[in-house]
Amino acid sequence: MDSSTHKLYHIDGMHSRNHLDSFFSGKEDMVFGDDCLKFPMANLHYCLISDHIRGNLLIDASLGSIVHHLYSVSEFFKEIAILKFNEQCIMEVSRWLHNCTGAFDWKHASGFVAGLEGKSDQHEDIEMRLKSSMKQVLKCNFEQENITSPVELPLADCVVSCFLLDAISKNEEEYMKNMEKIVKLLKPGGHLLLLSVINKTYMTVGGERFNFLKHDESLVRNSLDKLGLAIDYFSWQKRRNVSDLTNYKAVMFIAAHKGE
């Protein structure tokens, strides 16, 4: 299929629950568990512990309505602000945050992080820890100078972005501009924790195919270097599933810090 016919996540919207069910659920037959769930959580946990990354404010700008990658983060930051492109994703996160009937069940993710932290019997505490640290769920627009306008967020100690830049960038020039928008959210010396996919061109959600920017590791590294960020940690995992819902070669995690 011609990529020009693919939908754009940030413009056309995406069914947030179908996205979660297809790529992030705890079902036994969910083939993306290693790449979409365990890889992000394990690398974030390792990086936060090893590099002593912590602070007051963390901003998360990630794809869809995912929150699993933030369980470890919530131990090291007092406040988390979540940025989403559309109201459906905001409603999905809010439904989970306020324990509403029909909310997506993330217990498989909190249980995994509890194991990483050596607290296997405390996954409910970890669930509550994340919810209590999530202070704002805001709509964002990367076409604006202040992407959270009219809300003015303070500069963050850390920004986490999970699979988002690949989905909202149509070409390498746009990728650079979007990366710059995220970096501007950081205070000097702040950390960027970035999850990305290599050589991915599409993702299918609810029968609709969404465009992704095909790129390799060098685009990410070059973008960070041009924006004055130094890479502290890098991890790469070859694709471990078989599914025609998406195509990619590998998943990648990079931790970097902004110059003082």
For the cut 50, the answer to whether the pLDDT of residue 111 exceeds it is yes
Pairs from 181-186 (Cβ < 8 Å, separation ≥ 24) = 181/142, 181/147, 182/61, 183/159, 183/227, 183/228, 183/229, 183/258, 185/59, 185/61, 185/147, 185/153, 185/155, 185/156, 185/159, 186/155, 186/156, 186/157, 186/158, 186/159, 186/258
Q: What is the CATH number of the domain that holds 24?
A: 3.40.50.150
- Per the structure, the complete domain to which residue 158 belongs is given by 3-258
Q: What is the 3-state secondary structure (H, E, C) of 19-48?
A: HHHHHCCCCCCCCCHHHHHHHHHHHHHHHH
Count of domains forming the chain: 1
Confidence of residue 136 (pLDDT cuts 50, 70, 90): very high
Over residues 115-126, mean pLDDT? 91
Residue written as tokens 């929150």?
67
**Residue positions counted in the chain:** 260
Q: Which pLDDT belongs to residue 260?
A: 81
Give the pLDDT confidence score for residue 4 in this predicted structure: 55
Predicted TM-score (pTM) of the model is 0.95
On average, the pLDDT of the chain sits at 94
Q: What whole-number distance in Å separates Cα of residue 250 and Cα of residue 30?
A: 17
